Structure 1
Amino acid sequence: MQTFQLQSAWRKTIAEGDLNELKALLAVGKTERFIPYRQAFNYRGDLLVTVIIQNQSSEEDVWESKLIACVEEGETIAERSFSIQTVPPYTSMPWTFIFPKDSLAQTPVKTGTLQER
């Protein structure tokens, strides 16, 4: 059974409405590796892509320099290597990937999807 987990920083700052929306996304039973939640730009022009990461295996998901691309309608918007905390087995957790402004190949028009490369 899949467990929903929040990183400690998320537990301290997440709004109840956002938490309910994330849990609702999981309740639908989606099985994608990355479940899109929200996309925005910060004040520096960096692209912030918030997703639910799903580890649906019995092994820990170790994030050591994984190349992640933000893709919109088959076009790569941005690509960057990420190292984040390990995702435990059978765990779903929200995470925000930050693609610096200078890594954007083009400006997204709508919410893209994330892909491991």
Structure 2
Amino acid sequence: MQTIHLQSAWKKTIAEGDLNELKALLVVGKTERFIPYRQAFNHQGDLLVTVLIQNLSSVGDVWDTKLVAYVEEGKTIAECSFSIDTVPPNTSMPWTFIFPKDRFIQTPMKTGKLEER
């Protein structure tokens, strides 16, 4: 069974209600790499996509630099490279990916998903 791993910054700031909602997303049998949670625009117009990153393997998932795309209806809206902490084995870790507005190919509708490239 997957457990949630929180980075220290998340441990300090996450509300109990949000943590409970994230735990509810951990449904047995979900094999998606990214389980969607929330999407929003910040005050600068950047797209924030919060997901649970799943590591279903028995080894740590190292994120030195990975290309991640935000895709709506099969069309790439934005791509960025991200470097984040290692996701421990058999865990899911909440993370917010920020896609700067100057990287948009077109304006997002906030109905998309993430894909690792």
TM-score by length of 1: 0.94
Give, in whole Å, the separation in 1 of the partners of 2:28 and 2:50: 18
Q: Is the 8 A contact 2:2 2:26 kept in 1?
A: no
Deviation of 1:110 (Å): 3.2
Give 5+ residue unaligned stretches, structure 1. none
Task: Structure 2: give runs of 5+ residues left out of the alignment.
Answer: none
Larger CA deviation: 84-93 vs 24-33: 24-33
Q: What is the TM-score when the length of structure 2 is the normalising length? A: 0.94
Corresponding residue number in structure 2 for 1:95: 95
| Map of 1:54 onto structure 2 | 54
Counterpart CA distance in 1 for 2:40 and 2:10 is: 17
Q: Please, what is the CA RMSD of the aligned residues?
A: 1.2
SS at match of 1:65: strand
CA contact (8 A) 2:63 2:84 kept: yes
> Aligned equivalents of 2:34 and 2:107: distance in 1?
21
Deviates more, 1:79-88 or 1:10-19: 10-19
**Residue pairs, 1:1-117, within 5 angstroms:** 1-27=1-27, 29-117=29-117
How many residues matched?
117
